[in-house]
Amino acid sequence: MVQLTSCFCTLAFILLHILYQPSIAAAADETATIYSVLSFGAKRNGVTDSTQAFLDAWAAACASLDSAEINVPKGRYLLNSMTFKGDCKSAQITFRIDGTLVASPDYRVLGQANNWLGFEGVSGVTIIGGTLDAKGSALWACKLSSKASNCPDGATSLSFTNSKNIRVEGLMSLNSQMYHIVINGCQDVLIQGVKVIAAGNSPNTDGIHVQFSKNVAIFNTSIKTGDDCVSIGPGTKDLWMEHISCGPGHGISIGSLAKDLEEEGVQNVTVKNAIFKGTQNGVRIKSWARRSNGFVQGVQFLDVEMVDVQNPIVIDQNYCPHNLNCPAQVSGVKISDVLYQNIRGTSATAVAVKFACSAANPCSGIRLKNVNLACRNQAVQSYCTNAIGKAYGTVQPNSCL
């Protein structure tokens, strides 16, 4: 009897469920409830502000007891700065974006906001597809002009803060005002098949910035931009990057570190199978020439191709633009255990390998294994100060470790 009742209840529940759900998704999650932004009033004409419709769709998805999918059909959606906040009842929310999200062409609309699309304190959020067109070029022009000090900083296009179990797949980010994607204070993040595109001279348009985050993986991602392709800040642990294409841009950079006296370290970072084309740097570790308790430990750069890269391999601990605010002129950041393996291709300058480490904290455990870098019309060389380590296999230019 007990069993029969519970069986009946289950059946009744399923029936109610089917009758009263807005719709049932077929794709990624069989049981996800679908919320289309169109049914919340979004307009796909690219000129009607759809911000409130997106926020309302998020609120509904967030309150859903089941997995939820927010659908953004084909079209262009004009959106202002938005924050999608947790905690949500739904354990899994997928944004499935077939359309393009566009920012106002007037850069002042987003210019003072930290983020255009910001996720805060969420868990189990996936973004599939979509194009973000932040229309940053007018702000870049302002920053590059003589009245640069009057320009707003600009907004990051997509950011995740204090969040976990995040997936971003097949997204394209165009012309951000500031950084394209920021992962800050997160855990368990997967980014794959993402494309970032901005002009080679666009200021501060880092592709993906990661900081204070653990277990972040970036796969199959192509970044063409005006600043770092990937920049890695303090407190980054267990970061994996594989199949990354970079250029134009400033390369993959750990740092700038030692911005603060008290600073979390960077640990266990891997770059595997990457290509850099015409970039300012290839793989770089950079710190201010300032006191700090920060550190970098356990980094591997594996199977990397350089094509006309100005500084293919570089550690620079002397960063101090305009020699301001670096009283001791040495970096407190300790760099150890860095492996460069199977790095090949061409340098656009004579110094293809540069380890300019801190006099107070020499770099240790630097390993070069099968490095083959050439320069089109001059001999390549390497430069070391305060760097301790070893070379294995064929290393060209000759190691100075």
Ligand X SMILES: *[C@@H]1O[C@H](CO)[C@@H](O)[C@H](O)[C@H]1NC(C)=O
C-beta closer to ligand X: residue 165 or 270: 270
Interaction pattern, residues 266-285, with ligand X; x per rule: CB under 6 A: --x-x---------------
Nearer to ligand X, 210 or 309 (CB): 210
- Give the E-state strand segments of 278-386 in sequence order: 281-288, 295-309, 311-319, 334-347, 351-356, 363-375, 381-385
Q: Which residues pair with 395 in a beta bridge?
A: 371
Q: How many helices (H) and strands (E) does the chain have?
A: 4, 28
Residues paired with 351 in a beta bridge: 381
> What is the closest distance, in whole angstroms, from the C-beta atom of residue 242 to ligand X in the complex?
7
Dist CA 156 CA 28 (whole Å): 28
Distance between CA atoms of 361 and 355, rounded to whole angstroms? 13
Q: Is 192 in the site for ligand X (CB under 6 A)?
A: yes
- Which CB, 137 or 297, lies closer to ligand X? 297
Q: Is the peptide bond before 153 cis (omega within 30 degrees of 0)?
A: no
Nearer to ligand X (CB atom), residue 162 or residue 270: 270
For residue 268, the minimal CB distance to ligand X (Å) is: 4
Q: Is 143 left (phi over 0), alpha (psi -120 to 50) or beta?
A: alpha
Choose one: 72-80, 238-246, 308-316, 363-371; the region binding ligand X (CB under 6 A): 238-246
Q: Figure out which of the listed residues 238, 264, 303, 308 binds ligand X, where binding follows CB under 6 A.
A: 238
Interface pick for ligand X out of 29, 36, 165, 240 (rule CB under 6 A): 240
Q: How far is the CB of 37 from ligand X (least distance, A)?
A: 27
Q: Are 161 and 120 in contact (CB under 8 A)?
A: yes
Asked whether position 336 contacts ligand X by CB under 6 A, the answer is no
Binder among 73, 219, 291, 302 for ligand X (CB under 6 A): 219
Stretch that binds ligand X, among 31-39, 195-203, 236-244, 252-260 (CB under 6 A): 236-244
CA distance 141 to 203: 9
- Of the two residues 52 and 220, which places its CB atom closer to ligand X in the complex? 220
Q: Please state the closest distance from residue 117 (CB atom) to ligand X, in A.
A: 23
Q: Is 243 a catalytic residue?
A: no
How many residues make contact with ligand X (CB under 6 A)? 9
Told to check if 243 binds ligand X by CB under 6 A, we report yes
Query: Could you tell me the strand order of the sheet in which 381-385 lies?
Result: 82-85, 115-120, 156-161, 181-184, 208-211, 230-232, 252-257, 281-288, 311-319, 351-356, 381-385
**Catalytic positions, please?**
250
Contact residues for ligand X, defined by CB under 6 A:
192-193, 219-220, 238, 240, 243, 268, 270
